[in-house]
Structure 1
Amino acid sequence: MAVFPPQPNAQGVSTSFVVYYSSVDESTGEMWCPDCVRAVPKVAALLDSPHAPDVFIQYVGQRSEWKSPSSPYRAEPYNLTSIPTIVKLEDGVEVSRLADPEFNEEGALAAFVFGTQKQEVVKPLVMVGGNGKVCTDDFCEF
């Protein structure tokens, strides 16, 4: 559970994060932004972590509101250019941000929040045989 205002760490710095998502489309019951929908499980896993930081969620509005040049989230103090975006705050001041498309890259969110190395994703080996059949390390089409 997030505490507001965030509590200082051992160095006396209060660190928190704000995740900006699209709002939920009332006609579908889901966020209108597919990138935001893909990000939700990653953020949920982050919040379930035993060392979860303070994370606050902010919805930027419906598609027409977000796409409008007059969206308040596109101007100061937010200056968002894409969603989802996560902003790191120290003592209430932005120190860094991670925005889409990097937000949804494997391991990027954990690396951003916890300062860990981003995990490399090993792609399965794909071979196309002389017969045009596709094989990977765990599947072969015959």
Structure 2
Amino acid sequence: MTIKDNFEVPKSAQELPLPDEPNARFFVLYLSSIDPATNQPWCGDVRRTLPLLNKTFSADPSPEIHYAYVGSRYEYKEVPGSRFRTDWDITRVPTLARYERVNGQVKEVGRLVEGELLDEKRIGGLIGA
């Protein structure tokens, strides 16, 4: 298991660095960025779920996960055309998304959002634990 922090999300799912092997899966956890005034994520749901997610993805075995930050509250919620909202349909943080190759195309095959990420069984179901 590895947590890859500060993952730069590409322009589309097709550009995700998904392994070519059969049944390969790729996980991205979309998080609010750190508020410099508090040194904490600006989103309360992220602050609540991050301890469990860090524990889950630090356990052995667990899949590799990529932490991607959506920007400041203003960048994410107020700026028209936020690429996370428009290109990736990330309308709530935190969001844990699972990607796989389906018929040769990389597709999102599952996601959990906000309070769903406090349920260890649901997380286990999504990651295949």
Report TM bin, short chain.
Answer: 0.7 to 0.9
Tell me the secondary structure at the aligned position of residue 20 of structure 1. strand
Q: Deviations over 1:35-64 (max 9, x none)?
A: 001111111111222111010000000011
The answer for the alignment partner of 1:70 in structure 2 is 81
1:79 maps onto 2:89 in alignment: yes
Deviating more after overlay: 102-111 vs 46-55: 102-111
**TM-score, normalized by length of structure 2?**
0.75
Alignment of 1:7-26 (within 5 A): 7=19, 12-26=22-36
Please give the alpha-carbon distance, in whole angstroms, between the structure 2 residues aligned to 1:52 and 1:106: 13
Tell me the secondary structure at the aligned position of residue 97 of structure 1. strand
Is the CA contact (8 Å cut-off) linking 2:70 and 2:84 kept in structure 1?
A: yes
Alignment of 1:26-37 (within 5 A): 26-37=36-47
Could you say if the C-alpha distance between residues 6 and 54 of structure 1 is closer, same or farther in structure 2, counting changes exceeding 3 Å?
farther
The answer for the alignment partner of 1:38 in structure 2 is 48
Aligned residues: percent identity?
A: 29
Aligned residue pairs total 112
Please give the alpha-carbon distance, in whole angstroms, between the structure 2 residues aligned to 1:41 and 1:98: 16
For structure 2, the 5+ residue unaligned runs are 5-15
Please give the alpha-carbon distance, in whole angstroms, between the structure 2 residues aligned to 1:18 and 1:108: 16
Question: Does 1 or 2 have the higher relative contact order (CA < 8 Å, sep 6+)?
Answer: 2
The answer for the alignment partner of 1:100 in structure 2 is 114
CA RMSD, Structure 1 to Structure 2 (Å): 2.2
For structure 1, the 5+ residue unaligned runs are 116-142
The answer for the alignment partner of 1:109 in structure 2 is 123
Moved over 2 A (4+): 1-9, 103-108
Answer 1 or 2: which has greater helix percent: 2
- Structure with greater Cα Rg: 1
